[in-house]
Amino acid sequence: MTVTAPPRPPASSRSLDLEGLIEEARSRARRRRTGYAGAALAALALAAGLFFSIGHGGGGPPGARNSSGDGSGGGPPGLHGTGGSNAKEIRFSPEPVRFLRTVTLPPTDVPVGVRKAFAGRRYSAAAPLEAARLPTPRGPFVLWASPAYGGGWCQGFQQPRMRFDRLSVSCTWPRPFMRHRLAIGGGYWPGLFLGRVPQRAARTLRLRLEDGNSLAVPIRSGFFLFRVPDRVLAQVAPRAFLAYDAQGRLVARESLPSPLAFPSFFGGIQQPPGGAELAHKREVVVRETPVGPASIWAAPSFAAPARCTWLQIRRAVWGGGCRRYEPPRRGLSEVVPLSVRAKGRIVNLLWGQVGGDVAKLDVRFQDATEKRLQVTKGVFLYPVLGSHWVRGHRPAFLIARDTRGRTLRKRLLFEFTLAR
């Protein structure tokens, strides 16, 4: 019996079949990728919804979003935006915490950057308005505030010559434990404080000092932005904020942290800066201390057109760094109040660098006496003696003056004045 093989299809037909199989495989792969992408987007949307609901605290109307930042698209009951018929004021709803005061802020001009920053915070329920302003020689400090969905508020602190974006805005939702406490912003210790007095009954606010005296703090619808005068910080530390009602009864108190054992103990480099050409180092200034000689060394940098300086006590390095030659230094370019533990003792030192425009450098103590410091090649070093570490006699200000005796720059040495 003869077996005959079936005829083979033409080469062109085999090529078409192969291309069909390849195209079908590609189509299946595309469908799988589309399915995976859809599932991932659905999961992401679900997670975002859960996060938004949790962050809301359950507050705000369904679908309420801060897409434009003008607050005209709705909000919780009692909340008004700055657009339409409610353009004259923003009101903060006192719900859900009963002690929370109602806030009314008058209309103000809001820079575009500030408006965008608040619009970028999804919990901000309206455009911000100015809650407090503090003039300074460098420009005004401004506290901006807006209501937040869920009964809270958002605030942003704008500083002159610094970037202000959505990360500058934070939101707070009061809870029952805040019934007798204040919401105080952090990170501006020791002399600048901002925040809100949320209690309905509060009418006045005072800052209690360590010596028992107090300072009046202006408040505006409960918001405050306050800078403690340098003359005060040169003597005592702030201890607590106290809020009183119309009858003078204490309704809220917020204690401030201790001065954190100022001056801060050494935590810097323990060897000469990495870019220093140690083959060309030289000793610039040396002073005697109870634990041995303290000196400042300098060397050029091989990594950049800069000078590297560092502090040594005996042979140990206690901090330093490299600074470029350009632009030329002016005023008090570097001031380092420092406490170090050496040979079982604490040594207090003041060192740093000044600009070429400084002709005289003085230390003013808490008792109003002054001492002239020697400046050598733009560097100074002053060990604080035991007699000048007694409270009431410590270094309080470092003052740079020109050839005519005019003050170029004054630096409060709060690291020394507030030290325990």
pLDDT digit string, tens, across residues 122-148: 899 889 999 999 998 889 999 999 999
Residue 14 lies inside a defined structural domain of this protein: no
pLDDT at 96: 58
Same domain, 300 and 243: no
Residue 56 lies inside a defined structural domain of this protein: no
Residue 246: which domain range? 84-255
Cis peptide before 218 (omega within 30 of 0): no
% of the chain with per-residue pLDDT over 90 = 52
Tell me the pLDDT band of 89, cut-offs 50, 70 and 90: low
Q: What six digits make up the tokens of 80?
A: 């008004």
Residue 179 lies inside a defined structural domain of this protein: yes
Does the pLDDT value for residue 267 go beyond 80? no
Does the pLDDT value for residue 198 go beyond 60? yes
pLDDT in tens, 368-418: 999 999 999 999 999 998 889 999 999 999 999 999 999 999 999 998 998
Tell me the pLDDT band of 98, cut-offs 50, 70 and 90: confident
Work out whether the CA dihedral 61, 62, 63, 65 comes out positive or negative: positive
Tell me the pLDDT band of 101, cut-offs 50, 70 and 90: confident
76 close to 61: Cβ distance less than 8 angstroms: yes
Of 3-17, 97-111, 244-258, 388-402, where does mean pLDDT reach its minimum?
3-17
pLDDT at 70: 39
Same domain, 390 and 327: yes
Same domain, 109 and 228: yes
pLDDT at 95: 59
Does the pLDDT value for residue 12 go beyond 50? no
pLDDT at 104: 86
Angle in degrees, CA 202, 203, 209, rounded to 5: 85
Same domain, 250 and 297: no
How far is residue 74's CA from residue 76's CA, in Å, rounded to a whole number?
A: 7
Tell me the pLDDT band of 249, cut-offs 50, 70 and 90: very high
Same domain, 138 and 223: yes
- In the chain, how many domains are there? 2
Neighbours of 192 (CB within 10 A): 17
Tell me the pLDDT band of 419, cut-offs 50, 70 and 90: confident
Residue 169 lies inside a defined structural domain of this protein: yes
Tell me the pLDDT band of 85, cut-offs 50, 70 and 90: very low
347 close to 313: Cβ distance less than 8 angstroms: yes
pLDDT in tens, 331-372: 999 999 998 887 888 889 999 999 999 999 999 999 999 999
Same domain, 237 and 309: no
Same domain, 240 and 186: yes
Helix (H, G, I), strand (E, B) or coil at 127: coil
How far is residue 145's CA from residue 155's CA, in Å, rounded to a whole number?
A: 4
Distances from the Cα of 363 to the Cα of 170, 234, 376, 383, 415, angstroms: 40, 13, 16, 12, 14
Residue 325 lies inside a defined structural domain of this protein: yes
Of 180-189, 250-259, 263-272, 319-328, where does mean pLDDT reach its minimum?
263-272
Same domain, 130 and 241: yes
Query: 221: phi > 0 → left, psi -120 to 50 → alpha, else beta; which?
Result: left
Does the pLDDT value for residue 281 go beyond 70? yes
pLDDT at 56: 36
Last residue of a domain, one of 255, 290, 309: 255
% of the chain with per-residue pLDDT over 70 = 74
Q: What backbone torsions phi and psi does residue 13 show, to the nearest 5 degrees?
A: -65, -45
Same domain, 194 and 321: no
Same domain, 316 and 225: no
Work out whether the CA dihedral 269, 270, 272, 275 comes out positive or negative: negative
Residue 263 lies inside a defined structural domain of this protein: no
pLDDT at 304: 87
